[in-house]
Structure 1
Amino acid sequence: MPPQKRIAFNEILKQDDGLLATHISRRESVTIDEAKRKIQSFVTDIKDSLATEKSFSFDKVGNFVLNEENSLVFEPDRKNNFYSESFGFDSLFPRQIAKEKYTYSQTFEEDDDELLVHKSSYSSTAVRKSTGWTYALYSIPILLLSTGLFVVLFSGPKSSNETAKSSFNPLDYIPKKEEVVQKVSVKTPTAETDIIKPNFDNQPVATTELKTLPVQPTTSVIETAPKKVESKKEIEKPAVTPVVEAATATINTAEKRYLIVSGVFKSLENVEKLQSILIKNGFTPKVIKVGELSKVVAAEAGSYAEATQLSEKHTKLIGEKPAIIKAN
């Protein structure tokens, strides 16, 4: 279908915009008031027609109809297309196609059994009916197969010693060939070895000779007398654990009044790590024991200004700001 444009009606729009009156005034060369009177007269005629006939028709536009609720309904004319760009295109309408009727005819001659095919006719072949023997031939293999499966599945165990087992696999009931493999057990005689323990005092180790008992003819087990090896017991020496003595430093509080404290630790390992870092950066650290804690003093100062300078130096080199404590 080509693009279409139809006229619609909106009952809500009741305000006069003056376009129709202006068009009539220019077309018929009348005043605006005269054009409005013509429009009012035309509307009155439409209302009278709707009141009497319930409908009013506009040629090639559409129809006004009053429905059951007495409301005005506009039905546009679908045969006319007001879309100017679709000019020249025809609307497509479906068309019913009549079905052709065919007749089937077959002619046979008395002497010839050939099937004659005429024009506008279709050939058909005769279907032979299946006899009872055909069904019997097809059913015999199925019966044999089902009987064999029934016998295999529901037969008893192969021997009295075997227990019956249920399985949907018919191959499980087929007797399998069992191969008996004789297990050969080989006993290897144990080799006689001497166990020698280290002699720390360079003394000869007392050993005893092994006596082998005679092999009895009735048994195949070789019995050997236990071998005893005497050796001097190893003297275990107690492990000596190094004792780390905490470094105690005496600080002359009479001359140095301020202490630059880098940190206070309970672990001796942390104290040693901090001491090594301070020594690498040019400090002379000292450790002061305060109960279980160890106070690491990076440097000493006689005045607060000197202590502040050492604190700034400590912060730049170590990366952490120390504490300045006044000595008692």
Structure 2
Amino acid sequence: MTLAKYISDLLYRYECVIIPNFGGFITNTISAKVNHFTHTFYAPSKELTFNSHLKNNDGLLANYISTCQNISYEKALSFIDQELDDWKTTLAYDELELENIGSLNLTKEGIMVFEPNSSVNYLTSSFGLSSYVSPAVKRITYKEKVRELETIAPVIPTEENKRKTPAFIKYAATAAIIFALGTVGWNQYNKIEYNNLVAKTELEQQRVDKSIQEATFVIENPLPAITLNVTKETQNYHIVAGAFREPANAEKKLQQLITKGFKARILGVNKWNLTQVSYGSFDSRNEAINTLNKIKRTESKDAWLLVKAY
């Protein structure tokens, strides 16, 4: 099973799939649309794009490969690296075709250009729905036919038809007038009752407000004032150790870091619904950067700095 196949599987369930040290594929839901020139109707779908700046490993792809192949997380990362080597070799001289995803090209300036596969719809709610072509409704043609028929056989009202009005039409008109008058009277009555109720409510509220304003509250033996000096902590610099789809994996990573002596903690869930775990949080940016460089040398090269208030 190729790396592209694993990515394609995840795109049906997640809005973003990141390939570590390469880029990320992002899906955006678009509504149903119609082409007025070809009279073609298209079902709702997911528009697929590629962002070469999303390179940090969020653990989603590696965990999925690890589960499918029943291998360790480290072996899954190694599998991804091997596939990426083949991708980069192909991009150096040719177009890279990814099954059910699209094609990638590398320009002379080193910019990655992505062309999505338009035949695949990653929106599961539209599964099985295909485009539909409907013939145009030719209203003008029908109007012309009606005019021709009226020309051939015009309908001419006679004096007898003008004089005779069916009895049931007269009765229906009379009933409609009586019903309309009754409805207007009932609505007017309800409006008057509602206004009276509002006026009574406002009067009662004014009485209550006046009583509250005239009341005097006396507190004997008041407590002395207490002054507290509180220093607000603004630890906005966090060194991220990883982001996990499963909360249990995040908790496991947290315990590992605490065992190693780090002041680790869980930062919460990001916009991709991944639980982030940090080595530690700092008030000073310089202290955070120095600690990050040390962790990259001794612990993990994938660690990165997140600046955010929690």
TM-score when normalising by structure 2: 0.29
Which protein, 1 or 2, shows the higher relative CO under an 8 Å CA cutoff with sep ≥ 6? 2
- Greater helix fraction, Structure 1 or Structure 2: 2
TM-score normalised over the length of structure 1: 0.27
Q: Which has the larger radius of gyration?
A: 1
Bigger fraction of residues in strand: 2
